[in-house]
Amino acid sequence: MRLSRVTLAVAAGALAPALLLATPSFAAGTSSAGAVAVTAQVGSPYDDMDDDDLRVAIVSLLANPASGQRVKQEINALLDRDDPAEMRAWLETGYPLAQAEDDRVAIVSLLANPASGQRVKQEINGLLDRRNPAEIRAWLETGYALAQAEDDRVAIVSLLADPDSGRRVKREVNGLMDRRNPAEIRAWLETGYRLAQAEDDRVAITTLLAAPGTSPALRAAANAALNDGTPEALRHFLEVGRYEV
């Protein structure tokens, strides 16, 4: 009896551990001894799967957050055609090719991302030079997080040394350096830094307003920035607006 897609999605979790044993991402993380053992096996891990197991296998890949656009596109087409022989062939040969293409797109996107730091870009350029799909997959699963964490540490140390960084920014950076939590540092760079910088900018603008030598035009521009209230407006005034006045 054929399974519906809903039933397949529920059953996918049960097969996922077995499926991972056959995917390139698992192979990339094994030892050389394990690789020899896998090579010694005869046939494909999909040879003994019945039609329903094959459907569950590709649906588990469809639900995998690591699956990219080409993998998902090809899986949806396989589910539409519902040909078990084609599914088996795709799992054996088509999936590694589709995953490799999605992984290349992923690292090129990271290379073009302005938020990517020096180590991330350096390692990606090395991966692009070597063009090893298993190495790229392993890097996306583990190496990227390590490289990003190092770049993030460099970023917060640079903020600590920046003379434009205010009291709250420096206080929060020192706390991050004490706790050394990569996920917390990444989240702070994405959202917390903007808020801390905005508070320091408000303090700087208020100090400027209190200075006896501040001109009426500069006071008007400073008050306009404070009334706007957005972090971007405060930063723009301090970096550009006050000099224009």
Q: Which of 105, 132, 153 is the last residue of a domain?
A: 153
199 and 132, same domain (yes or no) = no
Count CB neighbours of 153 within 10 A: 17
Q: Which amino acid is at 79?
A: L
What is the pLDDT, as a whole number, of residue 42? 54
222 and 147, same domain (yes or no) = no
* pLDDT tens digits, one per residue of 2-56: 444 444 443 444 444 444 434 444 333 333 333 334 444 457 889 899 999 999 9
144 and 196, same domain (yes or no) = no
Domain assignment of residue 72, yes or no: yes
What average pLDDT does the segment 127-140 reach? 98
224 and 141, same domain (yes or no) = no
CB-count burial class (<10 Å; 0-12, 13-18, 19+) for 95: buried
What is the pLDDT, as a whole number, of residue 104? 98
124 and 215, same domain (yes or no) = no
How far apart, in Å, are the Cα atoms of 61 and each of 49, 82, 145?
Answer: 16, 16, 22
Q: Which residue has the higher pLDDT, 197 or 27?
A: 197
Domains held by the chain: number: 2
* pLDDT tens digits, one per residue of 172-196: 999 999 999 999 999 999 999 999 9
What is the pLDDT, as a whole number, of residue 177? 98
105 and 223, same domain (yes or no) = no
pLDDT at 61 over 90: yes
Count CB neighbours of 108 within 10 A: 12
Domain assignment of residue 59, yes or no: yes
99 and 189, same domain (yes or no) = no
Q: Which of 109, 126, 153 is the last residue of a domain?
A: 153
Q: Which of 153, 176, 207 is the last residue of a domain?
A: 153
94 and 172, same domain (yes or no) = no
What average pLDDT does the segment 149-153 reach? 98
Count CB neighbours of 36 within 10 A: 10
Domain hosting 173: range is 164-244
142 and 22, same domain (yes or no) = yes
* pLDDT tens digits, one per residue of 86-118: 999 999 999 999 999 999 999 999 999 999 999
Domain assignment of residue 158, yes or no: no
pLDDT at 156 over 50: yes
Specify whether the CB–CB gap between 147 and 120 falls below 8 A: yes
18 and 114, same domain (yes or no) = yes
What is the pLDDT, as a whole number, of residue 44? 81
198 and 228, same domain (yes or no) = yes
